[in-house]
Amino acid sequence: MRKLDTLILHCTATRFDHDVTIDDIRVWHVARGWKREGYHFLIRLDGTIERGRPVDMIGAHAKGFNRTSLGLAYAGGIDKDGNATNTMSRDQTDAMFVLIDSLAVVFGQLKLIGHNDVTDRKTCPNFDVSEWWSSQRFYEGE
């Protein structure tokens, strides 16, 4: 198994009401010349978690960071007016926490960052992941 130290959060840059599947993403990424989808996991609009690339396969989601990270994406990221923003629903947020916590059980504590933390060329996932993570963890310590 490869050495992992980071989870990188992404969005699909699709409208908040347009559900996509990992198969859709695979088609998009293969059309770009990639071997398969770049993400390891996708959270669909209803909170369903879909597997993409196997976790033991290096991702294609954050140039320069793929070797030691897993790519997690949520469907959405574009609001009704076409603006890039956090459109993650409550179902998606809950599923993302389950996924992140499950990955921590398997791989140990991993750093959580956004794609926008490792490049100036992207706003994805369209919010500050560090702020989001700490503000959503309201139940810790209860």
| pLDDT one-digit tens code per residue, 25-41 | 999 999 999 999 999 99
Bridge-based pairing of strands 77-78 and 14-15 is parallel
pLDDT tens-digit readout, 40-87: 999 999 999 999 999 999 999 999 999 999 999 999 999 999 999 999
* Residue 5 structure tokens: 């130290």
Give me the catalytic one of 10, 29, 40, 61.
Answer: 10
* Residue 64 structure tokens: 């320069």
Strand-pairing partners, residue 10, are 73
Neighbours of 115 (CB within 10 A): 23
Topology, domain 6-136: Lysozyme-like (3.40.80)
Examine the residue annotation and report whether 122 is marked as an active-site residue of this protein: yes
What is the residue extent of each domain of the chain?
6-136
Examine the residue annotation and report whether 124 is marked as an active-site residue of this protein: yes
